[in-house]
């Protein structure tokens, strides 16, 4: 029987020092990050602008960790090829920004990337249920997308539990990713509720000691200590 995916910790570089991105990536990689979450914002879908494919291409040269590109942009189809060519391993698009979601997912997979759909806190699971088996992961936003450092929205927790229950029945290998306001104080509870991949920006990069906070996250998720594991293994 296929089992639920392993827990993974995904530091979001939105909260990193952009002038030293290479150093920041190397620091969280050696501290025990499992993937790097890259928040792409276009100033239209969300009221903020961040980074695009050229930055992803440069990040690709400094880390072996999977690059997880969260596209908070309108009409993401226009840029899927660029992100895949830049070295993205996982790409998520927002259901709210896609007119032909099934087609968009097939394109992402055709480019050789894992495909995910992100849902805003106010968007119901109905938006992904018809195509659940086509997805590698569903990203449940636990804040409204656009900015780091926001407060976790508690009402998303039952949505995590409901999706895990449906996935256990229909698609156990589906990973549920949570993003926004994830901190050491709620991560174990979110794992328990059914989440598998944990994005954390401020909670990691806001600390002076990345190693200590990542170790804390790993322990709370039941993962082995980073010192006992080889990156990429
Ligand atoms: C918000 C982004 C998040 C953000 C999370 O729109 O999608 O990935 O970086 O930041 P924290 O962990 O600070 O809430
Ligand atoms: Zn994100």
Q: pLDDT value at position 1?
A: 66
Q: Which atom of ligand 1 is nearest to the CA of 48?
A: 6
179 classed as catalytic: yes
Strands (E) across the chain are located at: 8-11, 36-41, 67-72, 90-94, 114-119, 137-141, 175-179, 197-200
Does residue 69 contact residue 84 with C-beta atoms inside 8 Å? Answer: no
Q: Which atom of ligand 1 is nearest to the CA of 70?
A: 7
Ligand number, closest to the Cα atom of 182:
1
Q: pLDDT value at position 232?
A: 46
Q: Residue 181: CB within 6 Å of ligand 1?
A: yes
Q: pLDDT value at position 168?
A: 98
Catalytic residue among 39, 42, 68, 196: 39
Q: pLDDT value at position 3?
A: 86
Q: pLDDT value at position 226?
A: 87
Strands (E) across 156-222 are located at: 175-179, 197-200
Residue nearest to atom 7 of ligand 1 (CA): 145
Q: For the CA atoms of the chain, what is the radius of gyration?
A: 16
168 classed as catalytic: no
Angle in degrees, CA 156, 134, 105, rounded to 5 = 85
Catalytic residue among 42, 68, 136, 179: 179
Q: pLDDT value at position 17?
A: 98
Does residue 114 contact residue 125 with C-beta atoms inside 8 Å? Answer: no
Q: pLDDT value at position 177?
A: 99
Q: pLDDT value at position 227?
A: 79
Distances (CA, A) of 27 to 21, 24, 47, 123, 130: 10, 5, 29, 35, 40
Angle, nearest 10°, between helix axes 21-31 and 210-220? 40
- Whole-prediction pTM: 0.97
* pLDDT over 90 at 228, yes or no: no
| pLDDT tens per residue across span 149-172 | 999 999 999 999 999 999 999 999
Average pLDDT over residues 108-126: 99
């Amino acid at each position: 029987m296929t089992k639920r995916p392993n827990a993974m910790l995904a530091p979001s570089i939105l909260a990193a020092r952009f002038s030293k991105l290479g150093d920041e990536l190397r620091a969280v990689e050696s501290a025990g990050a499992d993937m790097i979450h890259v928040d792409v914002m276009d100033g239209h879908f969300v009221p903020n602008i961040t980074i695009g494919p050229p930055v992803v291409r440069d990040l690709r040269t400094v880390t072996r960790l999977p690059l997880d590109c969260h596209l908070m942009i309108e009409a993401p189809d226009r840029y899927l090829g660029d992100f895949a060519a830049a070295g993205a391993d996982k790409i998520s698009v927002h259901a709210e920004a896609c007119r032909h979601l099934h087609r968009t997912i097939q394109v992402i997979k055709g480019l050789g990337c894992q495909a995910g759909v992100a849902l805003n806190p106010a968007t119901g699971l109905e938006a992904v249920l018809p195509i659940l088996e086509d997805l590698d992961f569903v990203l449940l936003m636990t804040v409204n997308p656009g900015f780091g450092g926001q407060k976790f929205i508690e009402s998303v927790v039952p949505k995590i539990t409901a999706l895990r229950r449906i996935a256990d029945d229909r698609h156990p290998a589906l990973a549920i990713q949570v993003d926004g306001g994830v901190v050491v104080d709620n991560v174990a509870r979110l794992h328990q509720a059914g989440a598998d991949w944990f994005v954390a920006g401020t909670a990691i990069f806001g600390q002076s000691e990345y190693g200590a906070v990542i170790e804390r996250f790993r322990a709370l998720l039941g993962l082995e200590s980073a010192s006992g594991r080889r990156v990429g293994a």
